[in-house]
Amino acid sequence: MSGVVLPEGFRLETLERRHPRRGFDCGEELVNDWLRAKALQHQDKRLSATKILLDPRGNIAGFFTLATGQVDFGDLPSDLVRQLPRRALPVAVLAWLGVNHAHQGRKLGDLLLAQALRDCYEAGQTFAFVAVVLDCVNDRAKSFYERWNFAVLPGNPYRLFLSAKTLAAMMGQT
Ligand SMILES: CC(C)(COP(=O)(O)OP(=O)(O)OC[C@H]1O[C@@H](n2cnc3c(N)ncnc32)[C@H](O)[C@@H]1OP(=O)(O)O)[C@@H](O)C(=O)NCCC(=O)NCCS
């Protein structure tokens, strides 16, 4: 996967207090509430990091939030953990992603997901993890992610994962 190219006039920034997050609406209340009310607090506490995509007018066209986490050995598929220790294993978490409704259907969701995965891959060169995991808010979100090699974790139909090996292959590194 080559580097992510933003549309003309768009820019990607780390979320800051000055950004107009109250106006963000992706049509999914849980996701709106996260960006409007919680993302900055969690970032200030070093629990997660949020990047926003600003449109040429300075409005938030979309965003994603990444965090670190752990998944128990037994919750991952057997082919992934075959040679791994039987303990909690480090994962990257794609915690949230959304595109403002005015910008939906223009491939910004794909663009943000590509950027999020690239960020995970690059961070993984320093802080290793065995997979990227995410929780889907609904079936529509699930089918969006399944187009990107994410697979369902055994025993949890709304928790998806992408192994670090598959991620590296997607980044053209294996
Ligand atoms: C899901 C979401 C991020 C997609 O963003 P988007 O910019 O509209 O998507 P794109 O234009 O990049 O679409 C890329 C592809 O995904 C498909 N797609 C878009 N929205 C989809 C959805 N909700 N479900 C399934 N597929 C979807 C498109 O048809 C397109 O497929 P194609 O390339 O075969 O035509 C956006 O609809 C959104 O913010 N939804 C509400 C929040 C949410 O569900 N977030 C995810 C969980 S945290």
CA of 82 to the centre of ligand 1 (A): 33
CA of 83 to the centre of ligand 1 (A): 35
130 in Cβ contact with 76 (< 8 Å): yes
Residue nearest to atom 34 of ligand 1 (CA): 147
Give the contacts of 5 (CB within 8 A, at least 6 positions apart).
none
Angstrom CA distances, 53 to 9, 18, 109, stand at: 10, 14, 10
Report which of 139, 135, 146, 92 is spatially closest to residue 117, judged by C-alpha positions: 92
The yes/no answer on whether domain 11-170 falls in CATH 3.30.870.10 is no
pLDDT tens, 100-139?
Answer: 999 999 999 999 999 999 999 999 999 999 999 999 999 9
Residue nearest to atom 5 of ligand 1 (CA): 109
Side-chain-side CA neighbours of 165 within 13 Å: the count stands at 3
Q: Which atom of ligand 1 is nearest to the CA of 98?
A: 39
CA of 77 to the centre of ligand 1 (A): 26
pTM of model > 0.85: yes
